[in-house]
Amino acid sequence: MAQTKTASLTKGAGFKKQEDLTLLNEVSSATAGVSHLEMCIQCGTCGGSCPSAADMDHTPRALFAMLRAGMRDEVLHSNTPWMCVSCYHCVVRCPQEVHIADVMYTLKSMAIKAHQYKDNTAPDFSQTFVDNIEAFGRSYELGLAGRFYLQHQPLRLPGMAGMGWGMLSSRRMNILPSRIEQIDQLKAILTKAKTLELTS
Amino acid sequence: MIENHKPKIGVYVCHCGSNIAGTVNVDDVRKWAQEKLGPEGVVIARDYKFMCSSLGQELIEKDIKELGLERVVVAACSPHLHEKTFRTAAEKAGLNPYLTELVSIREQVSWVHTDKAIATEKAKSLVSGTVQRIAYNTPLEKQKVPINANTLVVGGGIAGIQAALEIANAGFHVYLVEREPSIGGHMAQFDKTFPTLDCSACILTPRMVEAGTHPNITLMTWSEVTNVSGFVGNFDVRILKKARYVNEDVCTGCGICTEKCPKKVIDTHYEAGLGYRKVVYTPFAQAVPRFPVIDRPNCTFFQKGTCKACEKFCPTNAIDFKQEDEFINITVGNIILATGYDLFDAGRVTNYGYGRLPNVFSSIEFERLSNSAGPTGGEITLRDGKTKPETVGIIHCVGSRDKNFNNYCSSICCMQSLKFAHIVRERTGADVYEFYIDMRTPMKAYDEFYQRVLDEGTLFVRGKVAEVTNAARYPHEKGKLIIHVEDTLVGKQRRIPVDMVILSNGMEPRHDAKQTGQTFGISCSSDGWYIERHPKLDPVSTMTEGIYIAGCATGPKDIPASVAQGAAAAARVLDKILQKEVEMEPIRASVIEENCSGCRICNSMCPFNAIAFIGDLKVSRVNPALCQGCGTCVAACPAGAITGTGFSNEQIFAQIDGLLMTV
Amino acid sequence: MNKYIYYPGCSMEGSARAYAESLSQVAKILDMELATVRDWNCCGATEYLSINLIPAYSLIARNLAIAAGQVNGTNELMAPCSACYLNLEKADYYMAERPALGEKVNEALAAGGLHYKPGSLQIRHLVDVLVNDIGLDVIKSKVVRPLTGLRIAPYLGCMVPRPDYQHRWSDHEYPLELDDLMHVLGAEVIDFPLKTDCCGGHMSQIAPETAYELIRRLVSEADEYQADLMVTVCPMCQMNLDAYQGEANRFFGTKYQMPIVFFTQLMALAFGIDAKSAGFGLELVSAKKALARIGVEAPAPEPASPRRKPDGLPMPPHRRKKYASGREASDEKIAVAE
Amino acid sequence: MTDTFEPVIVGFTCNWCSYRAADAAGTARVKYAPNVRLIRLMCSGRLDPAFVLKALAGGADGVLISGCHPGDCHYIEQNYKALRRFLLLRRTLKGFGVEPERVKLVWASAAEGVRLAHEINAFVEEIRKLGPLNWPKWDNQSGRDLPADIEPQPIEEVPA
């Protein structure tokens, strides 16, 4: 009797997996500063403030509810963190002082680590940017634009040629990257840093 | 002295059900006290499930009688809860109450620690401390002081009026002090009251008139308390009566002066900045008292020396430009503070645009706008004074439940907002949106009112509004205010264009609450509200005997709760008055005159001027009627010539020894 | 002489050259000494934080550690770029708020022989420094060519007044520091409601349509208020609104021509520097037409929408918040169009 | 059990504020370090510096003094006197060769149970860092002699 009951219950979608109640804490502790994530009262100030909410699949508030519900895959698949423009409107308005923008950074890096993002445009842009920094110590706009657009938005290139030429001809974009002197020191720092993680 | 004879001590350890026994090994504490504290005089140690029960108390009484106990130590809860219980029990058995002490092993041990072994150890050392101390306790007698039957009520809002009327009707005299020109408080500004929709003025003004004409009430408006000294039973109060420039003895309140005054200023107080008033004015038509007051900073006569229109036309020559502020001293036995609240300044929430966007209104502005005696005669219009809104957004929790402003819930805003929605729908037919985080409608008939407003077609959106802007993004938004919000129940961001936004401002402690508290010797919580003696069981008393609090001075409240508190505070005062005298704790300092060197350091140390220098004998002496027992002089006396009963050096030293005894 | 340690940031050498050039002119006139952080590296913008937390903060902290070593009479580190400013301030703040972060970052820095103690530096943005340290009265005294007749939309963007960990700004949402600064230059300043809204940030790269919408909102609102130009304090904002304005126009079929210049360019101009040295001509949406108004007798522009009539119900007092320095804002009214 | 040093701390509280704050912490079940044993005084102004010295001499590693916030004193202004005595006391302790940080003054109103618990935890950690107080015994019962160069002196009263 009991067995049948369990069997019938497991058919329900909610019983496929056990809820992952550690997720919220995991995200909170991997966030720089004190995130206050557990204090969210689901008021929606963040979702109402967000300038790019229209293009998000979940509002930030909904994402935090999903974190609480332990919906790891759904959260890491969400495009919400990638659409965050870091305007900090939500952060200063949040009545519970949740460091929303920083939580978004955490979710992005978690998604990258888990290879769980839906669209690789944004992660690749960030990675390209970071590769340049790691190589030169400075950002390199032309190299970034070239590599990134060829890979992701080749169709956009012709339309942007005029603008690109304008930037180059006014020397607002440099043809060659500049490099810091002590690039080896920076590399040593970053190599060490990559072995470290923020947990508790 | 005591070394030869250790008094017989009984130790009683309470389980408090599992409250203590769950974390402290009660049996171990009892055994330890019996064995290890035997040399300190403990002759009996017992434990019991509930010491405060009548059976528990009888246990103590029996031991006092049968074993001849001379001291009783009860290890249980905080002395602030049950000290009186056990002292009374011991007294019944013939032991002076001050020979019984409580050790707090619940609030200070079992409730705040988790490790049973460590908690038990701490309980033992606390018991040891008190056992050592109590040997030096001496029998004390309570002092009785007669109570002055007059009462001071500060604040003439509905809570203060209620308190004053209750006491006055019982036949005792009340001084009702109000700093505005009229009593009535915030309630006088409202249009309707939720959930019954009674007209606020209709139910308030009869009370105001009653207070204004009551033979037992001395009404002192346009006055403020500046200084309070003394103690329960006999407070000396100094009141500043600000100059009205109107002779109250001859003024009939006919209003001709106001009519003839040529100057109008914006009324930032009663009309919340939406309307105008004359410079000689009564705040509103039903003001009590009816005497007007001249707004000196704005008066042309005081500015330029000419005008005097009011004086010219006054039929009874009541205008008196030479009037000056005066101080009045009174003596009262008890004081009730009903000083109310300040409205949260909505301009602080920059993203709602109050003060920048004309058609964003504060809650009190809307009250005036919808009031038939208000600036538009009750017409609900936009800031232009003409246009009727077609869509209205009402925003809850403005300044409340927000760590950027105030953490607490202001408790009235949900109902206030529902009331606004109803009034807007009824008077304009406009579409009304309510933006809320949570609907809080817990009191009698409140949720029913929510149902009614739902039924009227108000559009509820669950979400805290992020922003109100005039920056249109789309053509249909042009000229409107756009409310940005996440509809959290849909999970989507919405932009809702409206004509008018009403903010449901929260409540804040009075801006000068701290200062007022210091005048009366009571303190504020971190939020700034006055602290009750006990938040549940003693909500209208304060830590200071004889000072009571009522209404919003202790936290946000609606009208029924404020009225109930006003009445409750009055009942507490009447209880005191009818006892005719008050018992004072016998904790006092006294000078051992043969040890006194006459240095007089203590004289200046005493805040109550209770220590006087006796010139003939060249010693200082404490006046026990003035001494309050703080003990500062005891600590300060360089010769050790002052002792403090209840907290003598011997007692404290012994307690330190006991606490540090290895357990 | 006001001394600052100066962190320029990558854009100042590239897309924001106009900012760098005009700043150096303005600094000279205002007697500011700027000591550049030696061998500074990129702050990581908004990108590195998305990839890996500790390396991202270590990257920022390398600059802090070097700058702290350069402390000489001042521990004020000034950055003109909003993103750089925020990153530097954020690293300093979080390394103290979360000691675990501080320890890890210093462990990484140690690999390069560096160390940073959070709190050693005061991190400031250029506008904050100008308004609160130099002061509007001093700036006003240096104006030789008032910008009379120029209608300006002051645009501060996001990352300067927010999150503002050290409370250096009068308000998160509606700070008036930049408005007041433009006002003392003699310009007509619009009460621009979107003054701290987002320019789209890196969305112009990764989700252009999202960015175009944000650019459109800002440009169309400035146009609605009949601004001659927008001033910005941030290279990223300037880049998005200037370089991508054309694309946004194409996307929406609009024809906005709203010049976006750095506020220091207008300061330099008002201080009597010639337009070329002030970095004009580098912008893609030309400011030529707008500049033609300066020094020329221009008719007062029509208000964008009807001004509020004096009748009707009085407004509640709009109490301006104080600057962090406690200075009072200028008394004169700012042009309001509602 | 770990062998970390567990300091013993004596706390002096005011009947009107901090003692009630301790009650409030209890009622709210706020957990804090068990190292502190509280003594109730009527007012922090009652605090005789001798109490502190007595506690330190008797084996306490630290002493917490707690009173009403400035301006909130139940007896008008006696907490200011406690503050002055506290400052003098810290100087005296330094003269004795005892770390003045072993005595701490905390203001806590009756409503601030959480704050008091927080301060207690912080203080316990501070004292833990300082280690046990190596204060020579005033008597010789422990079998230890006072170092020759330290004469037991009568405790100097500080008329605040």
Residue the block writes with tokens 């906005």? C256
Query: How many independent structural domains does chain C possess?
Result: 2
* Residue A8 C-alpha, separation from nearest chain C C-alpha, in angstroms: 43
Asked whether the beta carbons of B91 and B69 are under 8 A apart, the reply is no
- pLDDT tens for B84-122 read 999 999 999 999 999 999 999 999 999 999 999 999 999
The DSSP secondary structure of B453-486, one letter per residue, reads: HHHTT-EEEES---EEE---SSGGGTTSEEEEEE
Q: Number of residue pairs across B and D with CB atoms under 8 Å? A: 150
The yes-or-no verdict on residue A85 having pLDDT over 80 is yes
Asked whether the beta carbons of B33 and B12 are under 8 A apart, the reply is no
Let me know if C64 is exposed, middle or buried by CB neighbors in 10 A (0-12, 13-18, 19+).
Answer: buried
The yes-or-no verdict on residue D6 having pLDDT over 50 is yes
All structural domains of chain D with their residue ranges: 9-130
Q: In what order do the strands lie in the sheet with B223-231?
A: B223-231, B234-241, B326-332
Q: Quickly state the pLDDT bin for A141 (edges 50, 70, 90).
A: confident
Q: Residue A2 to residues A10, A16, A18, A164, B135: CA-CA distances in angstroms?
A: 12, 18, 19, 70, 67
B351–chain A Cβ distance below 8 A for any pair: yes
Instruction: Report the pLDDT value the prediction gives residue C302, as an integer from 0 to 100.
Output: 38
* Domain C-terminal end among A45, A79, A114: A114
Asked whether the beta carbons of B370 and B427 are under 8 A apart, the reply is yes
Specify whether A105 is located in the same domain as A133.
no
- Classify residue C266: in a domain, yes or no: yes
CB contact under 8 A, C247 and A178: no
Q: Is A174 helix (H, G, I), strand (E, B) or coil?
A: coil
CA–chain centroid gap for D136, Å, is 19
A93–chain B Cβ distance below 8 A for any pair: yes
- pLDDT tens for D92-146 read 888 888 899 999 999 998 889 999 999 999 999 999 999 998 755 444 454 444 4
* A contacts of B485 (beta carbons < 8 Å): 44, 48
The yes-or-no verdict on residue A8 having pLDDT over 70 is no
CB contact under 8 A, B484 and A49: yes
Q: Number of residue pairs across A and B with CB atoms under 8 Å? A: 73
Query: Over pLDDT 70: what percentage of chain A?
Result: 84
Q: Residue C116 to residues C68, C92, C96, C107, C165: CA-CA distances in angstroms?
A: 7, 9, 11, 10, 19
* B contacts of D20 (beta carbons < 8 Å): 80, 543
Q: What is the mean pLDDT of residues B68-94?
A: 95
Would you tell me the crossing angle of helices C17-29 and C263-270 to the nearest 10 degrees? 40
Q: What is the mean pLDDT of residues D75-96?
A: 89
* C contacts of A126 (beta carbons < 8 Å): 47-48, 50-51
* Residue B470 C-alpha, separation from nearest chain C C-alpha, in angstroms: 7
- pLDDT tens for C263-279 read 999 999 999 999 888 99
Q: Is B540 helix (H, G, I), strand (E, B) or coil?
A: coil
C165–chain B Cβ distance below 8 A for any pair: no
B partners (3+ CB pairs within 8 A) are A, C, D
- Classify residue C299: in a domain, yes or no: no
For residue C113, give its domain range: 2-126
- Classify residue C328: in a domain, yes or no: no
> Among the ranges A117-126, B566-575, C281-290, C301-310, which has the highest mean pLDDT value?
B566-575
Q: What is the 3-state secondary structure (H, E, C) of B8-65?
A: CEEEEEECCCHHHHCCCCHHHHHHHHHHHCHHHCEEEEEEECCCCCHHHHHHHHHHHH
Q: Is B80 helix (H, G, I), strand (E, B) or coil?
A: helix
Assigned CATH topology for domain B9-142? Rossmann fold (3.40.50)
Q: Residue C225's domain is classified under what CATH number?
A: 3.40.50.11810
- pLDDT tens for B495-543 read 999 999 999 999 999 999 999 998 998 888 889 999 998 889 999 999 8
* A contacts of B462 (beta carbons < 8 Å): 44
Specify whether C237 is located in the same domain as C116.
no
Expressed in percent and rounded to 5, the helix, strand and coil fractions of chain B are: 35, 25, 40
Nearest CA in chain A to B398: A95
> Rounded to an integer, what distance in angstroms lies between the CA atom of residue B112 and that of residue D23?
10
Q: Quickly state the pLDDT bin for B217 (edges 50, 70, 90).
A: very high
Q: What are phi and psi of C23, to 5 degrees?
A: -60, -40
We find that the CATH architecture of domain B144-242+325-340+511-584 is 3-Layer(bba) Sandwich (3.50)
Q: Out of A126, A141, A153, whose CB is closest to C50?
A: A126
Instruction: Report the pLDDT value the prediction gives residue A177, as an integer from 0 to 100.
Output: 76
Specify whether A31 is located in the same domain as A91.
yes
- Please choose, from the candidates C217, C243, C208, C205, the residue with its C-alpha nearest in 3D space to the C-alpha of residue C157: C217
Specify whether C286 is located in the same domain as C148.
yes
CB contact under 8 A, D74 and B630: yes
- Please choose, from the candidates D86, D105, D96, the residue with its C-alpha nearest in 3D space to the C-alpha of residue D151: D96
Query: Over pLDDT 70: what percentage of chain B?
Result: 99
Assigned CATH topology for domain B589-644? Alpha-Beta Plaits (3.30.70)
The one-letter amino acid at C46 = T
Asked whether the beta carbons of C133 and C31 are under 8 A apart, the reply is no
Instruction: Report the pLDDT value the prediction gives residue D133, as an integer from 0 to 100.
Output: 87
C partners (3+ CB pairs within 8 A) are A, B
* C contacts of B354 (beta carbons < 8 Å): 316
Touching status, chains A and D (3+ beta-carbon pairs under 8 Å): no
B343-508 is a CATH 3.50.50.60 domain: yes
My answer on whether omega of the bond before C163 falls inside 30° of 0, hence cis, is yes
- Please choose, from the candidates D134, D158, D137, D152, the residue with its C-alpha nearest in 3D space to the C-alpha of residue D45: D158
Query: How many independent structural domains does chain A possess?
Result: 2
B403–chain A Cβ distance below 8 A for any pair: yes
> Rounded to an integer, what distance in angstroms lies between the CA atom of residue A72 and that of residue B587?
64
CB contact under 8 A, A96 and B492: no
Specify whether C164 is located in the same domain as C115.
no
- pLDDT tens for C46-74 read 899 999 999 999 999 999 999 999 988 89
Q: Residue A88's domain is classified under what CATH number?
A: 1.10.1060.10
Residue the block writes with tokens 């996440």? B486
DSSP state of B524: B
Token readout for D78 is 């006696």
CB contact under 8 A, C173 and B356: no
Asked whether the beta carbons of C6 and C78 are under 8 A apart, the reply is yes
Q: Out of D22, D78, D117, whose CB is closest to B632?
A: D78
CB neighbours of B53 closer than 8 A, spacing ≥ 6? none
Q: What is the mean pLDDT of residues B233-237?
A: 94
Q: Out of C194, C312, C316, whose CB is closest to B347?
A: C316
* D contacts of B514 (beta carbons < 8 Å): 71
For residue A148, give its domain range: 121-193
CB contact under 8 A, B437 and A96: no
First to last CA, chain A: 45
Alpha-carbon Rg for chain B, nearest whole angstrom, is 31
The yes-or-no verdict on residue A122 having pLDDT over 80 is yes
The yes-or-no verdict on residue C296 having pLDDT over 50 is no
Query: Over pLDDT 90: what percentage of chain D?
Result: 63
Q: Quickly state the pLDDT bin for D1 (edges 50, 70, 90).
A: very low
Specify whether A49 is located in the same domain as A107.
yes
CB contact under 8 A, A85 and C200: yes
Q: What is the mean pLDDT of residues B67-74?
A: 96
Mean predicted lDDT score pLDDT of chain B:
95
* Residue A14 C-alpha, separation from nearest chain C C-alpha, in angstroms: 31
> Rounded to an integer, what distance in angstroms lies between the CA atom of residue D144 and that of residue C66?
54
Q: What is the mean pLDDT of residues D53-80?
A: 90
Mutate to test the interface with B, among C173, C313, C333 (most CBs of B within 10 A): C313
- pLDDT tens for B425-441 read 999 999 999 999 999 99
Q: Residue C107's domain is classified under what CATH number?
A: 1.20.1050.140
Specify whether A60 is located in the same domain as A105.
yes
* D contacts of B111 (beta carbons < 8 Å): 26-27, 29
> Rounded to an integer, what distance in angstroms lies between the CA atom of residue D61 and that of residue D131?
8
CB contact under 8 A, D34 and B646: no
The yes-or-no verdict on residue A172 having pLDDT over 90 is no
- pLDDT tens for B608-655 read 888 999 989 999 999 887 888 999 999 999 999 999 998 999 999 999
The yes-or-no verdict on residue C298 having pLDDT over 70 is no
* Residue D131 C-alpha, separation from nearest chain B C-alpha, in angstroms: 17
- pLDDT tens for C193-217 read 999 999 998 898 888 999 999 999 9
Instruction: Report the pLDDT value the prediction gives residue C338, as an integer from 0 to 100.
Output: 36
Assigned CATH topology for domain D9-130? Rossmann fold (3.40.50)
Q: What number is the ipTM of this complex?
A: 0.83
Nearest CA in chain C to A186: C112
Q: What is the mean pLDDT of residues B374-394?
A: 95
Mean predicted lDDT score pLDDT of chain C:
89
Specify whether C100 is located in the same domain as C155.
no
A61–chain B Cβ distance below 8 A for any pair: yes
Asked whether the beta carbons of C162 and C196 are under 8 A apart, the reply is yes
C223–chain B Cβ distance below 8 A for any pair: no
- pLDDT tens for B151-173 read 999 999 999 999 999 999 999 99
Q: Out of B80, B129, B607, whose CB is closest to D76?
A: B607
CB neighbours of C15 closer than 8 A, spacing ≥ 6? A141, A167, A172, A173, C235, C238, C239, C243
* Residue C46 C-alpha, separation from nearest chain A C-alpha, in angstroms: 8
Asked whether the beta carbons of B362 and B369 are under 8 A apart, the reply is no
Assigned CATH topology for domain B243-323? Alpha-Beta Plaits (3.30.70)
Strand partners, C76: C122
* C contacts of B357 (beta carbons < 8 Å): 338
Specify whether A99 is located in the same domain as A42.
yes
The yes-or-no verdict on residue D150 having pLDDT over 60 is no
Specify whether A91 is located in the same domain as A29.
yes
> Rounded to an integer, what distance in angstroms lies between the CA atom of residue B176 and that of residue B645?
38
> Rounded to an integer, what distance in angstroms lies between the CA atom of residue A148 and that of residue A127?
10
CB contact under 8 A, B384 and C312: yes
Specify whether C45 is located in the same domain as C103.
yes
Touching status, chains D and B (3+ beta-carbon pairs under 8 Å): yes
All structural domains of chain B with their residue ranges: 9-142, 144-242+325-340+511-584, 243-323, 343-508, 589-644
> Rounded to an integer, what distance in angstroms lies between the CA atom of residue C124 and that of residue C85?
7
The yes-or-no verdict on residue B199 having pLDDT over 50 is yes
Give the residue ranges of DSSP H helices in chain C: 17-29, 48-51, 53-69, 82-97, 99-110, 126-128, 136-141, 177-184, 203-206, 208-224, 235-243, 245-252, 263-270, 288-291
Helix (H) or strand (E) holding C90: helix C82-97
Q: What is the mean pLDDT of residues C100-110?
A: 96
- Classify residue C112: in a domain, yes or no: yes
- pLDDT tens for B271-300 read 999 999 999 999 999 999 999 999 999 999
Across A150-164, B5-19, B26-40, B132-146, least confident range: A150-164
Q: Quickly state the pLDDT bin for C305 (edges 50, 70, 90).
A: very low
> Rounded to an integer, what distance in angstroms lies between the CA atom of residue B351 and that of residue B467?
5
Q: What are phi and psi of D75, to 5 degrees?
A: -110, 40
CB contact under 8 A, A33 and C113: no
B interface residues, C as partner, C-beta within 8 Å: 266, 273-275, 345, 347, 350-351, 354-358, 362, 365, 369, 375-376, 381-386, 467, 469-473, 479
Let me know if B8 is exposed, middle or buried by CB neighbors in 10 A (0-12, 13-18, 19+).
Answer: middle
